[in-house]
Amino acid sequence: MELKNYELIITEKPSVSLRIAESLADGKVRAHKHGKVTYFEIEHKNKKIIIAPAVGHVFTLKHRVGKKGYPIFEVRWLPTYEASKSAAFAKQYVDTLKFLAKHASSYISACDYDIEGELIGYNILKFICGDDTVKKARRMKFSALTKEELTNSYEHALPHLDFNLADSGISRHILDWYWGMNTSRALSHAYKTATSSYLTLSAGRVQTPTLKVLYDREQEIKNFKALPFWVITALIKTKEQDVLSLHEKEKFFNKAEAEKVFENCKGKDALVTSVVKRRTEQTPPTPFNLSDLQQEAYSLFKYVPKLTQAIAQSLYEKGLISYPRTGSQKLTGVDPKHILQKLAENPLYSSKAKKLLLEKELVANEGTKTDPAHPCIYPTGEKSEKLEGLDARLYDLIVKRFFATFGKSAIRETQTVNFNIGHETFFAKGSLTIEKNWHTLYEPYVKLKDEELPPLKEGKSYKVKNLSIDQKETQPPQRYNAASVIRKMEELGIGTKATRAQTLQTLYDRGYVSGINQLHVTSFGATIVETLEEYVPELTSEQLTRNFEDEIEKIQSGELKKEVVIKEAEETLTKIMLEFKEKEEKIGERLKKSYYKSRQEQAIIGTCPNCGSNLIIRVSRASGKQFIGCSSYPKCKTGFPLPQAALIMRTVKTCEHDKLPIIQVIRKGRRRFEMCISPTCPSKKDWGNKKTKKEATS
DNA sequence: GCAAGGTC
């Protein structure tokens, strides 16, 4: 069959190609393969249309080959598979688009309608379809993958791309590249001048402010001065149970005052002065976007955000859930009834789905956040082979969350009882769920606890079983964990939903941070922050992102030309890099010292599976051997042997099998490998003895 | 080799 004279619709990713084909096809959707890539052929109003996907960015910026040192500003666009081996899969997509572009008579970009999507389409047209197609191509603009929206966006396709938007995308890429590459190279170069050996160091518009956030918290904790305070509690005896009440002042920072109050209350009975009951409505949760899912999976299952993202991606590829890299908390364009009907066929979910289907109206408690291209994360209701382990748990959470958003508000009752003990006021609080409603749909993931108070009568006196005064002290602020730092990045508006988990990984990889439950900045990470604050302070604050956004907005509106912005960045950085270079020796010494020290520190390897404290490298007093053990030893005796290890470099990732850390170890003779710390992990052989490139060739 | 951003 000869394919000629068709319209070529280019999408950002494979799943969208199919949706567009299904929406526009008057008759059958024909799927074809070119290599491994599927594209679709349809007829729409007697017109032949081919729909073919990209895989996100298939072009990336690359400096001129062999160019060493810094500063560097000469960049050009190159196919991702030429720039990096890890992007080899992208070649097939590029080849397919090249093949299809040859005989196309017209072109439409149907990439996501955002800055990156505009650029993905623009680059494909320019470098694959031919320069002349850039001006001719039309643009489909849609904000949901529904038939109606997609058909409408095709019928009313914009006559051309938004060139200003594409320009702002180009600028974003170049500015990030300039700042990131130059600063990273400068750091590595400085290290090399001091040690004559190469070490990958990095800095960037997103990773450095993130590191700074962790660093600042580290400083807060370091500078924290604990204050002692006293609390007075009274255990009140009733027929049913004892009630613990607290003095209304809660914290006494003055010891004498606390002791006086304590004396006043001693030996006195507790008179109930008031019983106040309040009912509150608790609205159901909002649908998941990626960040919400990452937070919840961490808090319920301790899945790190990167793991959650990987599992969600695989569930999406199996057709079980919708597109996971979304910021939306809305069910735009989703037909919940249809999904519930499909879920009702699954014995695991049948009863809950059927219960919801009985409702007259299905109204979801949608959140306010939206996404330019996708609705929230929801189950498709499709059947699959039996899910197990990590996948099954996450899928179950997504299904139950979907159910819960349609539930009625739960009703909670809180009770506050005030007591008079020797003319001092004490109080006790209880809370109780009166009507579960959405809680039953979300079980077992509801985190609320019921604490019921026994019936206490106003005006009645009760015996005080025990009155106590305890000294406590104020606590320093909590360290961030792997999930909360992602939320913080979201708050600061740095990174994107799809990249934040990866950014944290980069900070681990560089040895800047360690720990999962409690993220510590290593002394080396601290040196990086301090060095950059001195020489490239712009890069340590999220303000750089704000400046980018302002400039990019102006390019979008046509107020500014991208060339001006790029030139300006070049000038600024040239100056900064020259100053850096002058101090290179000094900076190198500082980095060297700090790096060596950091390696010898008691590295935090991960989180103790038993008690949640840090796992650190310990030396056994008995045998003198190194092993990984819990930092709260001897309270917790968790430990893992470490055979023949010489130097533990860092935690690489978390083992998917038992969620223990996988660490990178260098043995004597510079043999470097990764291993799961669990001696019984069955996946151990997968990590062991991974040789470095150098070794493999020697 | 280093960024950040797409997607697998």
pLDDT of residue A144: 78
Closest CA to A596 of A547, A548, A546, A649: A649
Would you say residue A217 has pLDDT above 90? Answer: yes
Closest CA to A520 of A485, A474, A473, A475: A485
Round to a whole number and report the distance in Å from the CA of A605 to the C1' of B1. Answer: 26
- Ordered DSSP codes for A613-628: SEEEEEE-TTT--EEE
Quote the CA–CA distance of A512 and A540 in Å, as a whole number.
Answer: 14
Shortest CA–C1' contact from A188: which nucleotide?
Answer: B2
- Mean residue pLDDT of chain A comes to 90
Contact A69, A189 (CB under 8 A): yes
Quote the CA–CA distance of A111 and A14 in Å, as a whole number.
Answer: 11
Contact A488, A496 (CB under 8 A): no
**Cβ of A38 less than 7 A from strand B:** no
What DSSP element (H or E) covers A533? helix A523-535
Lowest mean pLDDT among A189-203, A433-447, A520-534, A663-677: A663-677
First to last CA, chain A: 52
Instruction: List C-alpha distances in Å: A537 to A151, A280, A512, A531.
Output: 49, 48, 18, 9
Q: What is the pLDDT of residues A265-275, one digit of tens each?
A: 999 999 999 99
Q: What is the pLDDT of residues A85-127, one digit of tens each?
A: 889 999 999 999 999 999 999 999 999 999 999 999 999 999 9
Q: What are the backbone angles phi and psi of residue A209, rounded to the nearest 5°?
A: -60, -30
Residue owning tokens 């109780």: A432
pLDDT of residue A647: 53
DSSP label at A609?
Answer: T
Contact A145, A131 (CB under 8 A): no
At residue A669 the predicted structure's pLDDT band, cuts being 50, 70 and 90, is very low
Contact A391, A315 (CB under 8 A): yes
Would you say residue A698 has pLDDT above 70? Answer: no
At residue A681 the predicted structure's pLDDT band, cuts being 50, 70 and 90, is confident
Q: What's the average model confidence in pLDDT over A127-147?
A: 91
Quote the CA–CA distance of A284 and A379 in Å, as a whole number.
Answer: 18
Round to a whole number and report the distance in Å from the CA of A139 to the C1' of B7. Answer: 21
Q: What's the average model confidence in pLDDT over A639-665?
A: 68
**Cβ of A310 less than 7 A from strand B:** no
Would you say residue A30 has pLDDT above 50? Answer: yes
Q: Where are the alpha helices (DSSP H) in A333-455?
A: 336-343, 350-357, 389-404, 438-442
Would you say residue A643 has pLDDT above 90? Answer: no
According to DSSP, the β-strands at A424-435 and A242-247 are antiparallel
Quote the CA–CA distance of A202 and A187 in Å, as a whole number.
Answer: 7
* Residues 499-558/A with CB < 7 A to strand B: 499, 502-503, 506
User: How is residue A322 written in tokens?
Assistant: 């919708």
Q: What's the average model confidence in pLDDT over A513-534?
A: 94
Angle between helix axes A336-343 and A389-404 (nearest 10 degrees) is: 130
Round to a whole number and report the distance in Å from the CA of A499 to the C1' of B1. Answer: 20
Q: What's the average model confidence in pLDDT over A237-256?
A: 95
pLDDT of residue A626: 59
Q: What are the backbone angles phi and psi of residue A517, rounded to the nearest 5°?
A: -65, -35
Q: What is the pLDDT of residues A320-333, one digit of tens each?
A: 999 999 999 999 88
* Residues 148-177/A with CB < 7 A to strand B: 172-173, 176-177
Give me the percent of chain A exceeding a pLDDT of 90: 76
Quote the CA–CA distance of A318 and A653 in Å, as a whole number.
Answer: 24
**Cβ of A61 less than 7 A from strand B:** yes
At residue A667 the predicted structure's pLDDT band, cuts being 50, 70 and 90, is low
Q: What's the average model confidence in pLDDT over A479-490?
A: 95
At residue A3 the predicted structure's pLDDT band, cuts being 50, 70 and 90, is confident
Distance, CA of A98 to chain centre: 35
Would you say residue A538 has pLDDT above 50? Answer: yes
pLDDT of residue A697: 34
* Residues 466-505/A with CB < 7 A to strand B: 494-499, 502-503
pLDDT of residue A692: 36
Round to a whole number and report the distance in Å from the CA of A40 to the C1' of B7. Answer: 19
At residue A696 the predicted structure's pLDDT band, cuts being 50, 70 and 90, is very low
Q: What is the pLDDT of residues A596-630, one digit of tens each?
A: 888 776 566 777 888 777 777 765 545 545 578 88
**B4 nearest neighbour residue (CA to C1'):** A176
Instruction: List C-alpha distances in Å: A321 to A343, A549, A671.
Output: 12, 32, 42
**Cβ of A202 less than 7 A from strand B:** yes
What DSSP element (H or E) covers A136? helix A131-136
Closest CA to A427 of A436, A414, A417, A440: A417
Residue A600 carries which side chain, given as an amino acid letter? Q
Count, residues in chain A: 698
pLDDT of residue A651: 65
Residue A100 carries which side chain, given as an amino acid letter? L
Shortest CA–C1' contact from A206: which nucleotide?
Answer: B4
Nucleotides of B under 7 A from a protein CB: 1-8
Shortest CA–C1' contact from A503: which nucleotide?
Answer: B4
The residues of A annotated with a catalytic role in the active site are: 323
At residue A250 the predicted structure's pLDDT band, cuts being 50, 70 and 90, is very high
Closest CA to A16 of A52, A49, A44: A52
